[in-house]
A and B are shown apart, each in its own frame.
Chain A
Amino acid sequence: MGEIVRDDAAARPRPGNDNGAAQTVTLVASGAWTLNELPDLEMIEAQSASAPGRSIVIDAAQLTAMDTFGAQTLVSLRRRLRAAGHAADIAGLPEKHARLLTFIGAIAPVDPSEPEKAYDRGLVTRVSASVLCGRDEVLSLLNTLGRLAYALANVAVSPKSFRVTSLVHQLDRAGLQAVPIIALITLLIGSIIAQQGFFHFRKFGADEYVVDMVGILVLREIGVLIVAIMVAGRSGSAYTAELGSMKLRDEIDSLSTMGLDPLEVLALPRVLALIIALPLLTFLGSIAALSGGVLTGWLYGNMHPEVFITRLKDAISLTHFEVGMIKAPFMALVIGTVACAEGLRASGSSESVGRQTTSSVVKSIFAVIVLDGLFAVFFAAIGM
């Protein structure tokens, strides 16, 4: 165990010199100054506290071992003493330790006037920073949207340059492969809504209104929302991660330097695939959710499927269906644009790909819900 003690014998005033300020204080360091045996830092503080202007010698002749941690501690101690106005020195260090000490001592200390980036910021700062960031993000999103529109216009002018293979591939991934999971989830959600309806409405003897509720809710809101959120989590995140890692591996830059527009080559087929796939998936999801309702009515609500379906025909109209379907392509556009924009913003490390993916999913789900709200206001205004 490393130790440091004040040698009071050596601190006696020298004969003929009663001026306290000129006294020499000796601190004797002994033992092993190594990582696991560093002397107690508080002990060092206590030992070195004295009136400024003294000359202090740290006697290190009795050190048995020293590693970089010990050397750093010694150097810091000397620095602190000097900063406090003492004339501090380290003496008697064995040759091999002296070399290490010189090496560590030559490394300039971190300038405290240059504060490190504060990671643990307060909630208020974080919220206000993210609000300020929000403006930039909206601008960057609009920028991506504009560039996508430009790429689309280019493709419209020369349709030969459009990547049909890529579109088909993305349609398969974002559309076809999503069918089983989306059908399953929407079926479950439809069943749950119906179950809750039967459970609570029964108290008022209003069983048949469950059908109205399930029908309207699913077709107008739940179907498209659930599917959009699933697509954002499933395909949007995949887009961001793909584009992000392509960015890290210089693949995006390679495309640009070949004179190709990464947005046209990579983003456009992906966004178009979503715009085509999401309405189809919404249709499928709505059917599955309604089937879930029928199933629950039959097994739990004592309502024969025929009765359910007859009632459903009366309860819903084409308008409800249209309201849901109209929203789908817009949500797809938002999800695709956010996903691609976030992916292209990845830089530096693979950690940033993870960060962008998280932020892509969070932002697109948020945007989808805001968009849904705006549509609700709009449809109410035009009486749909």
Chain B
Amino acid sequence: MDRAVLEVDRICVSLGGREILRDVSLDVQSGEIFGIVGGSGSGKSVLLRTILGLTPRASGNIRVLGTGIDSGEEQWRHTQRRMGVLFQQGGLFSSLSVKENIQVPMRELCSLPVGLMDAMTDTKLSMVGLGASDASKAPSELSGGMVKRAALARALALDPQIVFLDEPTSGLDPIASGAFDDLILTLRNSLGFAVFMITHDVESLRTVCDRAALLAHGRVVAIDTVPALASSRVEEVQSYFHRRSKFSPATRSIH
């Protein structure tokens, strides 16, 4: 249980001549659900994209499942097959049906008999709470919540050891997002994967995450277990957890 599946060591990222991330370090242990919170534009998505190798970094090291991100294309690809990613917009292939989407990783990365692939597709769909009737739908025919579920099913297609989620519950109603949280918890408990999730939802952070890091202006301000963060004395953490706005005009006086 105490094995790091993700190690991020002092990474710096600059985009468009601006430093977006500075000296970000964190680690995720096997079987753990790790949350990333922070204001809009604090660099959460950039951090995720950097970890996935989609955004180049200026310095620092990243290891996923024990493999360094620049330890050769072949090896990194091998590691990628043991990761699942749910992008903020789902990233379902719009020209393929839900079922075909889930089968893309199975088809491309392994050679499975068709019967088994079909059976596994149904299993994954019901795991995320979608019915068999949704399998033949196109992504454009799904609601926002269903897109997230279908994308999760695809991310879980090959039983990954670590799952990356970018704002899985944004744009969902409170009941749907509560259900999504339950789903992640249940799946984690039964399948034992680690989760790295970005969220804006303090409620969902409290329910599902074991530990979390708060990002502000491209730096990790605090990193701890969720209850410890909630009772932290650090100003940024407090204002994040207790929704205190730093900008309250009524307290200023006329000059």
A residues bordering B, Cβ < 8 Å?
A: 89-90, 93, 98-99, 101-103, 105-106, 246, 249-251, 253-254, 256-260
Q: Verify A99–B249 contact, CB threshold 8 A.
A: yes
Q: Which residues of A contact B92 (CB under 8 A)?
A: 251, 254
Closest to B78 in A: A259
Q: Verify B91–A251 contact, CB threshold 8 A.
A: yes
Among A93, A106, A251, A253, point to the contact of B94 (Cβ < 8 A).
A251
How far, in angstroms, from A89 to B81 measured CA to CA in the complex? 66
A86 to chain B, nearest CB (A): 14
Q: Does B255 contact A (CB under 8 A)?
A: yes
How far, in angstroms, from A106 to B108 measured CA to CA in the complex? 56
Q: Which residues of B contact A89 (CB under 8 A)?
A: 255
Given A90-B254, A259-B81, A253-B249 contact (CB < 8 Å): no
Considering residues A101, A249, A253, A257, which has the most beta carbons from chain B within 10 angstroms of its beta carbon? A257
Q: Does B109 contact A (CB under 8 A)?
A: yes
Q: Verify A250–B90 contact, CB threshold 8 A.
A: yes
Q: Does B88 contact A (CB under 8 A)?
A: yes
Q: Does B196 contact A (CB under 8 A)?
A: no
Main secondary structure of the interface of A (DSSP, over half): helix
Count residues of chain B with CB under 8 A from any CB of chain A: 31
* Given A102-B253, A250-B87, A253-B87, 12 new contacts (CB under 8 A): A102-B254, A105-B255, A249-B94, A250-B89, A251-B92, A253-B52, A253-B85, A257-B54, A258-B108, A259-B77, A259-B81, A260-B108
Q: Verify B250–A259 contact, CB threshold 8 A.
A: no
Mark contacts of B146-189 with chain A using CB atoms, 8 A cut-off: 1 yes-contact digit, 0 otherwise: 00000000100000000000000000000000000000000000
Q: Which residues of B contact A99 (CB under 8 A)?
A: 249-250
How far, in angstroms, from A258 to B156 measured CA to CA in the complex? 11
Q: Does B145 contact A (CB under 8 A)?
A: no
Among B89, B104, B255, point to the contact of A258 (Cβ < 8 A).
B104
B86 to chain A, nearest CB (A): 9
Q: Which residues of B contact A251 (CB under 8 A)?
A: 91-94
Q: Which residues of B contact A106 (CB under 8 A)?
A: 247, 249, 252
Q: Verify A259–B80 contact, CB threshold 8 A.
A: yes
Q: Verify B109–A258 contact, CB threshold 8 A.
A: yes
Please report the number of residue pairs spanning A and B whose Cβ atoms sit closer than 8 angstroms: 68
Among A90, A98, A103, A258, point to the contact of B80 (Cβ < 8 A).
A258
5 closest residue pairs by CB, A with B: A250-B91, A254-B91, A250-B87, A259-B80, A259-B77
Q: Which residues of A contact B76 (CB under 8 A)?
A: 259
B64 to chain A, nearest CB (A): 11
B residues bordering A, Cβ < 8 Å?
A: 49, 52-54, 76-78, 80-81, 83, 85, 87-94, 104-105, 108-109, 154, 247, 249-250, 252-255
Q: Verify B254–A98 contact, CB threshold 8 A.
A: yes
How far, in angstroms, from A106 to B255 measured CA to CA in the complex? 10
A150 to chain B, nearest CB (A): 11
Q: Which residues of B contact A103 (CB under 8 A)?
A: 249
Closest to A99 in B: B250
Closest to B76 in A: A259
Task: List 9 A–B pairs whose Cβ atoms lie within 8 Å, in order of A's numbering.
Answer: A99-B250, A102-B254, A105-B255, A250-B88, A253-B54, A253-B91, A258-B105, A259-B78, A259-B80
Given A258-B108, A259-B77, A102-B249 contact (CB < 8 Å): yes
Q: Verify A257–B80 contact, CB threshold 8 A.
A: yes
Q: Verify B254–A257 contact, CB threshold 8 A.
A: no
Q: Which residues of A contact B52 (CB under 8 A)?
A: 253, 256-257
Closest to B105 in A: A258
Closest to B111 in A: A160
How far, in angstroms, from A253 to B252 measured CA to CA in the complex? 46
Q: Which residues of B contact A256 (CB under 8 A)?
A: 52-54
Q: Verify B109–A259 contact, CB threshold 8 A.
A: yes
Closest to A242 in B: B95
How far, in angstroms, from A93 to B250 measured CA to CA in the complex? 15
Q: Which residues of A contact B80 (CB under 8 A)?
A: 257-259
How far, in angstroms, from A172 to B247 measured CA to CA in the complex? 59
Q: Which residues of B contact A258 (CB under 8 A)?
A: 80-81, 104-105, 108-109
Q: Verify B249–A257 contact, CB threshold 8 A.
A: no
Q: Verify A101–B254 contact, CB threshold 8 A.
A: yes
B254 to chain A, nearest CB (A): 6
Closest to A265 in B: B108
Q: Which residues of A contact B104 (CB under 8 A)?
A: 258
Q: Verify A102–B81 contact, CB threshold 8 A.
A: no
Closest to B74 in A: A259
Q: Which residues of A contact B109 (CB under 8 A)?
A: 258-260
